[in-house]
Chains A and B, each alone.
Chain A
Amino acid sequence: MTQAAFSRIVTDPRLSPAQKAHALAVAAENSLPYPDLDPGTRAALDARIICDMFEGHAPYKPRYVLPDYAVLMRQGSAWLELPPPQTLDEALHSLMIAYHHVPSVTGMPVYIGQLDDLLLPFCDGVSDADLRAKLRLFWRYLDRVLPDAFMHANIGPTDNRVARAILAVDAELKQIAPNLTFRHDPAVSGDDILRLCTANIIACSKPHIANHPLHREAFDEMGYGIVSCYNALPLRGGAATLVRLNLAEVALRSVDEADFLTRALPHHVELAARLIEARVVALRASGFYRSFLVDEGWIDPDRFAAMFGIFAMAEAVNHLQDKAGRRGRYGHDNGANALGLAITERLAALVAARPLAHVWRGRALLHAQAGLSTDTGLTPGIRIPYGTEPDPVTHVQALAAQHAHFPSGVSEILTLDETVRANPEAVFRLAKGALDMGLREFTANVGGNDLVRVTGYMIRLSDIARHREGAADRTNTTALGAEAAAMTAILDRRPRVVAAELMAGADG
């Protein structure tokens, strides 16, 4: 990093002083040497077959931190000189303070808590109108002071006052932040709140609906949270690092399907594991875990997972299909879909067989990674390439079987034509069907919304348009979204209601 590069950050007219400070910190970190890697791992990283998500050369904070905010609610914080909150106002205020002391890769909190569980004890005697008014201010604070769409709130699985008020406020304000997940459990949630969630999706493309029974199974009694885009991680812990493997690059380096599965894939999984090890060791050496967060029990150093991300499954499968002389395309052909599942099963077995020191449960957690804004020509995770998606029912059935193997998160974005606005029951049925089929997350964008989901976080299309015209933006993620829109095909996701059937009444 040269002085000229620092200077470009300092003089970038589109960055606020705080955004410049963050960019300068990243640049300074990256002027330090990278953790020691063996030559094979180094070469794979340089070729970006494996990738560290550009987390930085000298890890000094985990990628994702999921504090157990219940500790703060219960006992306050000696370090922050906060007594235990007694009222809803005090509880919200304590959280607002706490968020500023929770680091993550973005410099902002990626997890702001299981809000209904945290706030319900303080809601006795608070009217619904007051609850909404207080949450409205809280939501506005989050979006304006922590303007990062990776900041994620969780609610559910019960149907409760706070969850309902949050859904109402979220649909009303239509902000990019916070990201929101409702954890759905068919045994607990009930159809009423699921219908509210699908109505919200029609209004503002939020929330994600998480398959709570599947996630609960993958974690332990302490529980889990959905953070950032759609990452599922241990509560009171998080993810130390995320390393991802570009399956398309692995396929290009394979002779055929058998070579891919038996040689190239195991080889590159091993290299990715070595990269994870190097980064985990460096993070521990940074002293991060000597912090009030550990001392007061917000986090536990033993609950930080290593995320093993993969992406470009579609391009890998289609490349292997080409090599075998098979025409079937990923997402559309049963044979190609079966190959995708076989690759995922192989990955899951390889990752489960590779011990890792100093990470939760001693193994990495497989993750379908949603992509970086610079992934030109490559499809996130295990998704079907943009613009070629089949109808959402076919779409879900093509990929559902793979979802069982991604404990730290996997998502499809189902893009629905705006005609569903007139038929919300169809979105409800689709969500129910998708969760029933074993999708870990139900996520949809509805045509005509200004607020849309890109790889997993929210952007406003109107902000992207202004950014392209050179305007400054107060949020961190709009620039990422604009870059992703320019370099990848994220906005080309094909709406899937057949337009000709609008006129179904006209034929015959």
Chain B
Amino acid sequence: MDSVTGLVSRILRWSVVDGPGNRMVLFLQGCNLACAACHNPHTIGLCNDCGLCVPACAPGALTLRDGRVNFDSALCTQCDACLDVCPVSASPMAQRLSVPQVLAMLRRDLPFLDGITVSGGEATMQLKFVTALFAAVKAAPDLARLTCLIDSNGHLGPRGWAQVLSVTDGVMLDIKSMEPLRHHRLTGQGNARVLVSARLLASRGRLHELRLLVIPGQTDLPDEVAAFARLARELQVPVRLNAFRHHGVRGAARDWPEAVLATVSTLAADLERKGVGPVALPAV
């Protein structure tokens, strides 16, 4: 177990929007979708040591040694210039962490925590690490009260879920679109696997929350909303609406209109009229 490591893009010690209570959140590096609307695109790719970020790093936190990019966090000023120049949507600041290292962080913050959430990127791409980490949390008497949640795009197959669910308290699943072609256009993949995951997780009592990213003119169209409402009613799970914003977004999606609170509130009311609930809203 000690040899399993995760590639972690970022760690939050205080998050109130990734599940109940305060949670430590590990954003794992790497994703198997390529969403145009991604708010954290620097978590999608994996570093290939091309070194383009090194000259972009003004404080000298990044260096190229033996063909590898090295990162010195003590020198980093969090300017994120390296992320802007990366041609593969990766982050040279991602760090390798072992399970015992994460457990030590959880113990340091234990009085403040209700649980841990792995997000991304797509957390389930590092399933071995997530499974080992959650199993270790459940096995440690002092940590066992912490709930273990996964934030996922649902691309993982049933055999993958079978591996991790026995040590997972719940999954927050993103629905990018209910319509296969639109899903493909938004993410580069169809949505069949996502819907299989949603039903599987619900049947195992592990679907903590179903989430819909509201992109005006795309995912808030009547056919989308009606199909999403059908799914949420069928699965009987809490729903959260997230608002598309330009923060962090790259490329053509920056020209898409942002979702304002009024749009999201109207949509939430519509869903509740259709028998879905409760529907949580973003603060926007």
Question: How close is A289's CB to chain B, nearest CB, in angstroms?
Answer: 45
- Contacting pair A423 B151 (CB below 8 A): no
A221-235: CB near B (< 8 Å → 1, else 0) gives 000000000000000
Q: Which stretch, A44-52, A152-160, A242-250, A494-502, touches the partner chain B?
A: A494-502
- Contacting pair A432 B119 (CB below 8 A): no
**6 smallest beta-carbon distances between A and B, as pairs:** A433-B112, A433-B111, A505-B211, A391-B14, A426-B16, A503-B39
* B40 located at the interface, meaning its Cβ lies under 8 Å from any Cβ of chain A in the complex: yes
Of all chain A residues, the one with the shortest Cβ separation from B21 is A425
- Contacting pair B14 A419 (CB below 8 A): no
- Contacting pair B242 A505 (CB below 8 A): yes
Instruction: Please report the C-alpha to C-alpha distance between residue A393 and residue B14 in the assembled complex, in whole angstroms.
Output: 6
Asked, given contacts A418-B283, A426-B114, A430-B22, whether A506 binds B17 with beta carbons under 8 Å apart, the answer is: no
- Contacting pair A393 B13 (CB below 8 A): yes
* B248 located at the interface, meaning its Cβ lies under 8 Å from any Cβ of chain A in the complex: yes
A379-394: CB near B (< 8 Å → 1, else 0) gives 0000000000001111
- Which chain B residues numbered 259 to 284 have a C-beta less than 8 Å away from chain A? 280-284
* A508 located at the interface, meaning its Cβ lies under 8 Å from any Cβ of chain B in the complex: yes
Question: How close is B262's CB to chain A, nearest CB, in angstroms?
Answer: 17
- Contacting pair A506 B174 (CB below 8 A): yes
A–B Cβ pairs within 8 angstroms, 12 of them: A391-B13, A396-B112, A423-B21, A426-B14, A426-B16, A503-B242, A503-B245, A504-B17, A507-B121, A508-B33, A508-B38, A508-B152
**Known contacts A422-B16, A497-B15, then 8 further A-B pairs from the complex at CB < 8 Å, ordered by chain A residue:** A393-B22, A393-B112, A418-B283, A422-B280, A503-B247, A506-B39, A508-B121, A508-B123
Instruction: Please report the C-alpha to C-alpha distance between residue A419 and residue B111 in the assembled complex, in whole angstroms.
Output: 21
Chain A residues within an 8 Å CB radius of B17: 419, 422-423, 497, 501-502, 504
Instruction: Please report the C-alpha to C-alpha distance between residue A418 and residue B284 in the assembled complex, in whole angstroms.
Output: 10
Instruction: Please report the C-alpha to C-alpha distance between residue A419 and residue B247 in the assembled complex, in whole angstroms.
Output: 17
Chain B residues within an 8 Å CB radius of A349: none
* A437 located at the interface, meaning its Cβ lies under 8 Å from any Cβ of chain B in the complex: yes
- Contacting pair A507 B43 (CB below 8 A): yes
Chain B residues within an 8 Å CB radius of A422: 16-17, 280-281, 283
Of all chain A residues, the one with the shortest Cβ separation from B24 is A393
- Contacting pair B12 A391 (CB below 8 A): yes
- Contacting pair A500 B120 (CB below 8 A): no
Chain A residues within an 8 Å CB radius of B20: 423, 425
- Contacting pair A501 B25 (CB below 8 A): yes
* A420 located at the interface, meaning its Cβ lies under 8 Å from any Cβ of chain B in the complex: yes
Chain A residues within an 8 Å CB radius of B220: none
- Which chain B residues numbered 1 to 50 have a C-beta less than 8 Å away from chain A? 12-18, 20-22, 25, 31, 33, 35, 37-40, 43
Of all chain A residues, the one with the shortest Cβ separation from B111 is A433
A468-508: CB near B (< 8 Å → 1, else 0) gives 00000000000000000000000000001111111111111
- Contacting pair B247 A499 (CB below 8 A): yes
Chain B residues within an 8 Å CB radius of A502: 17, 242-243, 245, 282-284
A400-426: CB near B (< 8 Å → 1, else 0) gives 000000000000000001111111011
Instruction: Please report the C-alpha to C-alpha distance between residue A391 and residue B112 in the assembled complex, in whole angstroms.
Output: 12
- Which chain B residues numbered 77 to 114 have a C-beta less than 8 Å away from chain A? 108-109, 111-114
- Contacting pair A500 B40 (CB below 8 A): yes
Of all chain A residues, the one with the shortest Cβ separation from B113 is A429
B124-155: CB near A (< 8 Å → 1, else 0) gives 00000000000000000000000000011100
- Contacting pair A506 B213 (CB below 8 A): yes
* B240 located at the interface, meaning its Cβ lies under 8 Å from any Cβ of chain A in the complex: yes
Question: How close is A444's CB to chain B, nearest CB, in angstroms?
Answer: 12
Instruction: Please report the C-alpha to C-alpha distance between residue A421 and residue B280 in the assembled complex, in whole angstroms.
Output: 12
- Contacting pair A429 B112 (CB below 8 A): yes
- Contacting pair B120 A508 (CB below 8 A): yes
Instruction: Please report the C-alpha to C-alpha distance between residue A418 and residue B112 in the assembled complex, in whole angstroms.
Output: 19
Of all chain B residues, the one with the shortest Cβ separation from A431 is B112
Instruction: Please report the C-alpha to C-alpha distance between residue A451 and residue B18 in the assembled complex, in whole angstroms.
Output: 27
Asked, given contacts A419-B17, A436-B111, whether A505 binds B22 with beta carbons under 8 Å apart, the answer is: no
Chain A residues within an 8 Å CB radius of B111: 432-433, 436-437
Question: How close is B28's CB to chain A, nearest CB, in angstroms?
Answer: 10
- Contacting pair A429 B35 (CB below 8 A): no
Chain B residues within an 8 Å CB radius of A421: 283
Chain B residues within an 8 Å CB radius of A327: 74
- Contacting pair B14 A505 (CB below 8 A): no
Instruction: Please report the C-alpha to C-alpha distance between residue A428 and residue B18 in the assembled complex, in whole angstroms.
Output: 16
* B237 located at the interface, meaning its Cβ lies under 8 Å from any Cβ of chain A in the complex: no
Question: How close is B241's CB to chain A, nearest CB, in angstroms?
Answer: 9
Of all chain A residues, the one with the shortest Cβ separation from B32 is A508
Asked, given contacts A391-B13, A392-B14, A502-B282, whether A508 binds B248 with beta carbons under 8 Å apart, the answer is: no
Question: How close is A321's CB to chain B, nearest CB, in angstroms?
Answer: 14
Candidates B38, B39, B114; contact of A429 at CB < 8 Å: B114
Of all chain B residues, the one with the shortest Cβ separation from A496 is B14
Instruction: Please report the C-alpha to C-alpha distance between residue A468 and residue B37 in the assembled complex, in whole angstroms.
Output: 42
Question: How close is B249's CB to chain A, nearest CB, in angstroms?
Answer: 9
Chain A residues within an 8 Å CB radius of B242: 502-503, 505-506
Chain A residues within an 8 Å CB radius of B240: 505
Instruction: Please report the C-alpha to C-alpha distance between residue A422 and residue B283 in the assembled complex, in whole angstroms.
Output: 9
Of all chain B residues, the one with the shortest Cβ separation from A423 is B16
- Which chain B residues numbered 225 to 252 have a C-beta less than 8 Å away from chain A? 240, 242-245, 247-248
Of all chain A residues, the one with the shortest Cβ separation from B15 is A501
Listed residue (B111, B213, B242, B248) with the most chain A CB atoms within 10 angstroms of its CB: B111
Of all chain A residues, the one with the shortest Cβ separation from B39 is A503
Instruction: Please report the C-alpha to C-alpha distance between residue A364 and residue B14 in the assembled complex, in whole angstroms.
Output: 37
Instruction: Please report the C-alpha to C-alpha distance between residue A436 and residue B112 in the assembled complex, in whole angstroms.
Output: 9
Of all chain A residues, the one with the shortest Cβ separation from B41 is A507
- Contacting pair B119 A504 (CB below 8 A): yes
Chain A residues within an 8 Å CB radius of B153: 508
Chain A residues within an 8 Å CB radius of B151: 504-505, 508
Chain B residues within an 8 Å CB radius of A392: 14
Instruction: Please report the C-alpha to C-alpha distance between residue A2 and residue B19 in the assembled complex, in whole angstroms.
Output: 63
Chain A residues within an 8 Å CB radius of B21: 423, 425-426, 428-429
Instruction: Please report the C-alpha to C-alpha distance between residue A423 and residue B12 in the assembled complex, in whole angstroms.
Output: 16
Chain B residues within an 8 Å CB radius of A497: 14-17
Instruction: Please report the C-alpha to C-alpha distance between residue A213 and residue B234 in the assembled complex, in whole angstroms.
Output: 51
Of all chain A residues, the one with the shortest Cβ separation from B213 is A506
Candidates B18, B22, B122, B244; contact of A504 at CB < 8 Å: B18
Chain A residues within an 8 Å CB radius of B243: 502-503
- Which chain A residues numbered 450 to 466 have a C-beta less than 8 Å away from chain B? none
Asked, given contacts A425-B21, A498-B15, whether A508 binds B112 with beta carbons under 8 Å apart, the answer is: no
